[in-house]
Amino acid sequence: MFNIILFGPPGSGKGTQSEKLITAYGLKHLSTGDLLRSEINAGTPLGIEAKNVMDKGQLVPDEVVIGMISSALDNNPEAEGFLFDGFPRTVAQADALDKLLKLKHTSIGVMIALDVSEEELVKRLLNRGKTSGRSDDTNETIIRARIVEYKSKTTVVADYYDKFNKVVHIAGEGTIEEIFAQIAKEIDGRKED
Ligand code: B4P
């Protein structure tokens, strides 16, 4: 089993590259953003609570996202590997993920961190907001709040995995194909080790 974390600020290309990676490597895609948005669309109590937080550009409480990931891992016993997209976003989430994977006798193979400048992130998200219908993508103040939240709570997650020599930084500006080729090269190199 080879498990990957796709890491980076909002709008860095995590969702975009995930779609290509799951096809190329036969991984099960687990995006906490997508899982939360399906709860919102279904109008569940969890979705209603999550929407309030997401619309302010803040992170949903750890116990909510950890619970979602735990169920998703249990529901996919046949998976040949997982691609975690947008998770973990706090050190508490990273710690919980390591424990959950240990129970399944597996671990994280690599964290791919996408580096993109702040102005490019804002531009991409405002652009996506024109068609995505996502309320967290249409307002620049909320987009900038998401970036602040990322800097204060999420960047430390890369330091956490760096201690285990698992982080690879990739320049996330360029064409989607160029970035994918760089990511694939790193994954192939790590899988052969
Ligand atoms: P997510 O759903 O994870 O999404 P995201 O960070 O907004 O964007 P992503 O990085 O996937 O987007 P992409 O670049 O692909 O999070 C949404 C919210 O959910 C969070 O703010 C938080 O509230 C909550 N949440 C989720 N997970 C959580 C967790 N673990 N803990 C707590 N809260 C959590 O796409 C952006 C745009 O860029 C697209 O339009 C794309 O087409 C474009 N793009 C991509 N690559 C490009 C390139 N190379 N060049 C030009 N444009 C590109």
What is the distance in A from the centroid of ligand 1 to the CA of 42? 20
Which residue has the least CA distance to atom 17 on ligand 1? 33
Over residues 8-49, the pLDDT tens digits come to 999 999 999 999 999 999 999 999 999 999 999 999 999 999
Contact predicate 57/146, CB 8 Å: yes
Over residues 102-120, the pLDDT tens digits come to 999 999 999 999 999 999 9
Report yes or no on whether pTM surpasses 0.75.
Answer: yes
156 has a pLDDT exceeding 90: yes
Which residues make Cβ contacts (< 8 Å) with residue 64, sequence separation at least 6? Answer: 46, 49, 50
What is the distance in A from the centroid of ligand 1 to the CA of 70? 21
Residue 191 pLDDT: 81
Residue 131 pLDDT: 94
Confidence tier at 133 by pLDDT (50, 70, 90) = confident
Closest ligand 1 atom to residue 87 Cα is 30
Tokens of 50: 């999550």
Closest ligand 1 atom to residue 174 Cα is 49
Contact predicate 147/118, CB 8 Å: yes
Query: Checking DSSP bridges between strand 82-85 and strand 167-171, what pairing results, if any?
Result: unpaired
Select from 30, 18, 189 the least CA-distant residue to 114. Answer: 18
